[in-house]
Amino acid sequence: VLVDPSHRRPSVETFLHALCLHDAGAKWVAHTHAVSVNQILCSRLGAEPFLRHLFPDGIVVCGRHPAVVPYVDPGFTLALVVRDELRRYQEAHGAAPKLLLMVNHGLVALGQTAQEALNITLMADKWAKIIVGTYALGGPNFLPDEQSERIDNRLDEHYRRQQLHGAFKP
């Protein structure tokens, strides 16, 4: 497909990205369609394997709970569904998510810095690869919820989160 740069049009997902900046308070939005993540999101399990944790780094970098939306055709309707999920999530958890999973579509990393958005994206990729590997070897050995909660609230992990945010330097 040939693209004529003089006829640039915004993405159909412009509203989605704007909502993530406005309603989720993100300063950086990284929306990708990583094969590793989509091989799970496009499976019959959808986002379910991401709802429990397998290792501490996933909690520290991606947050304790990802936000999840079902498949919706990209465009304005998807933005409205994401808006509703961001509002529901914030009411349930008292903060915005760091990771938004869109079933049969992809992921959105919500960061305060470019480095944080990149770190969330890379960790979601690692997490997805570990999930697939665990299913190949008999199934996941999820961390107990109380351990995930403890990791999420440890002071040393809060400090590590701050270090991982990094500062964007052009």
Q: What is the pLDDT of residues 25-41, one digit of tens each?
A: 999 999 999 999 999 99
Element (H, E) at 100: strand 99-102
pLDDT above 80 for 156: no
Q: What is the pLDDT of residues 80-109, one digit of tens each?
A: 999 999 999 999 999 999 999 999 999 999
Q: What is the pLDDT of residues 56-84, one digit of tens each?
A: 999 999 999 999 999 999 999 999 999 99
Q: What is the pTM of this model?
A: 0.88
The answer to whether residues 121 and 32 touch, using CB atoms and an 8 Å cutoff, is: yes
**What is the per-residue burial (b if ≥16 Cβ within 10 Å, else e) of 139-159?**
ebeebeeeebeebbeeeebee
When pLDDT is averaged across residues 118-146 and rounded to a whole number, the result is 96
CA atoms within 13 A on the CB side of 43: 15
The distance from CA 22 to its chain's CA centroid, rounded to whole angstroms, is 16
pLDDT above 70 for 2: no
When pLDDT is averaged across residues 112-126 and rounded to a whole number, the result is 95
